[in-house]
Amino acid sequence: MFCHIFKNRFKILIRNKSMIFWTMIFPIVLATLFYFAFSDIENDSKLKAIDIAVIQNEQFENNQILKNVLKSLSEDSENKIFNIQYVDELKAKVLLDEGKIDGYIISGENTSVIVKENGINQTIIKYVIDQVYQLESVSKNIYEYNPESIVNVVKEIFLSENKYFDDSSSKNMNMMEIEFYTLIGMACLYGGFLALIVVNETEANLSAKGARISIAPVHKLKVLLISLLVALTIQFIETSILIAYLYFILGVSFGGNLGYVCLLSLFGCLAGTSLGLLVGVSSKKSDGIKTGILLAITMLCSFLSGMMGVYMKYIIQKNAPILAKINPVNMITDGFYSLYYYNTMNRFYSNMIGLALFSTVMIIISYIFIRRKKYDSI
Q: Can you give the pLDDT at residue 41?
A: 59
The model's pLDDT over 32-87, given as tens digits with 9 standing for 90+, comes to 998 887 766 555 555 678 999 999 888 888 887 788 888 888 888 766 889 999 99
Q: Can you give the pLDDT at residue 170?
A: 42
Could you give the C-alpha distances from 13 to 7, 17, 215, in angstroms and in order? 10, 9, 22
Region 274-302: mean pLDDT is 91
Banded pLDDT at 191 (limits 50, 70, 90): very high
228 neighbors 273 (Cβ within 8 angstroms): yes
Q: Can you give the pLDDT at residue 162?
A: 41
Phi-psi category of residue 343: left, alpha or beta, with phi > 0 → left and psi -120 to 50 → alpha: left
List for the chain the helix, strand, coil content (%; round to 5). Answer: 70, 5, 25
Could you give the C-alpha distances from 265 to 251, 269, 293, in angstroms and in order? 18, 6, 23
Please name each of the domains of the chain with its CATH number: 2-41+175-372 (no CATH), 47-159 (3.40.190.10)
Distance between CA atoms of residues 289 and 26, nearest Å: 21
180 neighbors 36 (Cβ within 8 angstroms): no
For 200, other C-beta atoms within 10 Å of its C-beta total 17
Q: Which residue has the higher pLDDT, 339 or 248?
A: 248
The model's pLDDT over 117-174, given as tens digits with 9 standing for 90+, comes to 888 888 888 888 887 777 666 555 555 555 565 556 555 554 544 443 344 444 444 6
Distance between CA atoms of residues 367 and 221, nearest Å: 9
Distance between CA atoms of residues 242 and 3, nearest Å: 27
Banded pLDDT at 376 (limits 50, 70, 90): very low
2, pLDDT greater than 80: no
